[in-house]
Amino acid sequence: MRLTAMREPELVADQAALEAVAARIARADRVAVDVEANGLFAYRANLCTIQLAVVEEGELSIWLCDALALDLSPLAEALGAEAPLKILHDLTFDAELLAASGVRLGRVRDTSIAARFLGHEATGLGNVLERVLGVTVDKSLQQHDWGARPLSPAALVYLASDVAHLIALDDRLTDLARTQDILEEIEEESTHRAKQAELRLADMQPAYTRIKNATTLPTWPERAILRRIHALRERLAEEADVPSHRIVPSEMLLLLCREKPRTAEAFRSIVERRRPGLEPVEWIVAIEQGIADGDVPEEDKVFLERPSMNPVLAERRKRREGQINAWRKAEALRRGVAEQAVLPGHVARSIATKLAEFHPDVESKRRALLDIPGVGEKRFTAYLESWLAIEDLA
């Protein structure tokens, strides 16, 4: 799409203006979308701004919406499944924040996924814009507090730059994708990522069980301590309105679970170097409560138990992964495309897992493969029989 001009970006901070923007977006064929939040500065990341851009009669219109000042419901339909195609770069974060604010993205295409499927190794927006369009953008405000008001002139320029080139970038990447016949795969993966973002938002798994390496704690009493001190950390972070890691990093939580300090001196010997001045009393009480609990709630155990796999099944899965990866590499070479375009990593792993399982007949195996999310109709049609034909190595 050829642009003749770019209009001056508009700051949208009142409801009537947002409703007018939503109406204009609904008439477009594509809308570039980006968001900013204050997750580096607050306990809970708040959606702070939404940047939108569309092409109208050959001119690019950009709106910078102050999400902290607006009811975003007018955008729900404009950005939904029946609305124009949304162009985003690395959409997962954006989709989660928008969904949490009542705006669920539908009909999406991710230029980060497109770049990766086209063989780019560095897929950050700045890298892709420079390589594909020869455009350099200022990323100096990547760690800016977007919850601060008023938005400075420099901040407004930065916000506009994140969507100013997305439609042109999508044009170029889409042309390249059509040449390689991988556009459908890009759109399938984009849709999958948007759906996964919504599923994560609805996931009720207890937060303490999500701590990286929580399952490496060897005993249930240690995991019970983690539950108690994680709750304390979250309360302190919420009271101070700071990110949780600013109170105590997660790896230190695990160390406290293992060491179980019961005195102020023992506690300080663990945390003082990285968190000097942290008051020990509440932490020691929480540790003692965890020791007294001796276990986590029964319903939480499923998230902390390391699933054991039958050794035979584990070996089958390992062989299947090798076979699928070898097949993917050969198919990518045959088609002259990136391996990720043939099968994204998560799909390849899921196929290997399904093929490793014991099925009574080929039809049940076929049904298992058809249930894998993110594969898409095109891949199933082209490749299903090839996957079914893969046999165990000797």
Based on the domain organization, do 260 and 345 belong to the same domain? no
pLDDT, tens digit, for every residue of 302-329? Answer: 999 877 768 888 899 999 999 999 999 9
Inter-CA distances, 352 with 70, 321, 326, 359, 370, Å: 46, 5, 12, 13, 13
Cα–Cα distance, 89 to 95 (Å, whole number) = 11
Sign of CA dihedral 261, 263, 264, 268: negative
Based on the domain organization, do 219 and 148 belong to the same domain? no
Residue 1's identity, in one-letter code, is: M
Cis peptide before 243 (omega within 30 of 0): no
Domain range for residue 69? 5-202
pLDDT, tens digit, for every residue of 112-121? Answer: 999 999 999 9
Q: What is the radius of gyration, based on Cα positions, of the chain? A: 25
Task: Look up the CATH number of the domain holding residue 316.
Answer: 1.10.150
DSSP string, 190-213: HHHHHHHHHHHHH----GGGGSTT
Query: Cα–Cα–Cα angle for 95, 101, 102, nearest 5°?
Result: 90
Cis peptide before 360 (omega within 30 of 0): no
Cα–Cα distance, 77 to 97 (Å, whole number) = 16
Tokens of 290: 């965890």
Looking at 202, 227, 258, the residue that finishes a domain is: 202
Task: Find all residues with CB under 8 Å of 192, minimum gap 6, and list them.
Answer: 373, 374
Inside any domain, residue 33: yes
Inside any domain, residue 54: yes
Helix (H, G, I), strand (E, B) or coil at 324: helix
pLDDT, tens digit, for every residue of 1-53? Answer: 555 567 899 999 999 999 999 999 999 999 999 999 999 999 999 999 999 99
Inside any domain, residue 158: yes
Sign of CA dihedral 260, 266, 267, 272: negative
Based on the domain organization, do 20 and 84 belong to the same domain? yes
Cα–Cα distance, 160 to 89 (Å, whole number) = 14
Residue whose tokens read 């290997």: 352
Task: Look up the CATH number of the domain holding residue 268.
Answer: 1.10.150.80
pTM of the predicted model, to two decimals?
0.92
Share of the chain above pLDDT 70, in %: 97
Based on the domain organization, do 55 and 193 belong to the same domain? yes
Based on the domain organization, do 112 and 230 belong to the same domain? no
DSSP string, 12-32: E-SHHHHHHHHHHHHTSSEEE
Looking at 154, 185, 202, the residue that finishes a domain is: 202
107 phi-psi bin (left φ>0, alpha ψ -120 to 50, beta other): left
Q: Is the pLDDT assigned to residue 287 strictly greater than 80?
A: yes
Cα–Cα distance, 317 to 319 (Å, whole number) = 5
Based on the domain organization, do 294 and 189 belong to the same domain? no
Looking at residue 203, what is its pLDDT?
81
pLDDT, tens digit, for every residue of 118-143? Answer: 999 999 999 999 999 999 998 899 99
Based on the domain organization, do 220 and 338 belong to the same domain? no
pLDDT, tens digit, for every residue of 255-266? Answer: 999 999 999 999
Among 57-71, 309-323, 355-369, top mean pLDDT goes to 57-71
Looking at residue 84, what is its pLDDT?
95
Spatial CA neighbour of 206 closest among 228, 238, 236: 228
Looking at residue 394, what is its pLDDT?
37
Looking at 202, 229, 258, the residue that finishes a domain is: 202
Based on the domain organization, do 126 and 65 belong to the same domain? yes
Question: 73 near 92, Cβ under 8 Å?
Answer: no
Spatial CA neighbour of 374 closest among 394, 352, 344: 344
Inside any domain, residue 296: yes
Inside any domain, residue 156: yes
In Å, how far from its chain's centre is CA 154?
27
> 169, exposed or middle or buried, with CB in 10 Å at 0-12, 13-18, 19+?
buried
Q: Is the pLDDT assigned to residue 288 strictly greater than 90?
A: yes
Inside any domain, residue 394: no
Looking at residue 192, what is its pLDDT?
96
In Å, how far from its chain's centre is CA 54?
24
Task: Look up the CATH number of the domain holding residue 68.
Answer: 3.30.420.10
Based on the domain organization, do 43 and 159 belong to the same domain? yes
Looking at per-residue pLDDT, the higher value among 140 and 62 belongs to 62
Q: Is the pLDDT assigned to residue 393 strictly greater than 70?
A: no
The total number of structural domains that make up the chain = 3
Based on the domain organization, do 340 and 377 belong to the same domain? yes
Cα–Cα distance, 148 to 143 (Å, whole number) = 12
pLDDT, tens digit, for every residue of 266-278? Answer: 999 999 999 999 9
Based on the domain organization, do 37 and 131 belong to the same domain? yes
Based on the domain organization, do 124 and 254 belong to the same domain? no
Inside any domain, residue 242: yes
Residue whose tokens read 């003082």: 272
Inside any domain, residue 174: yes
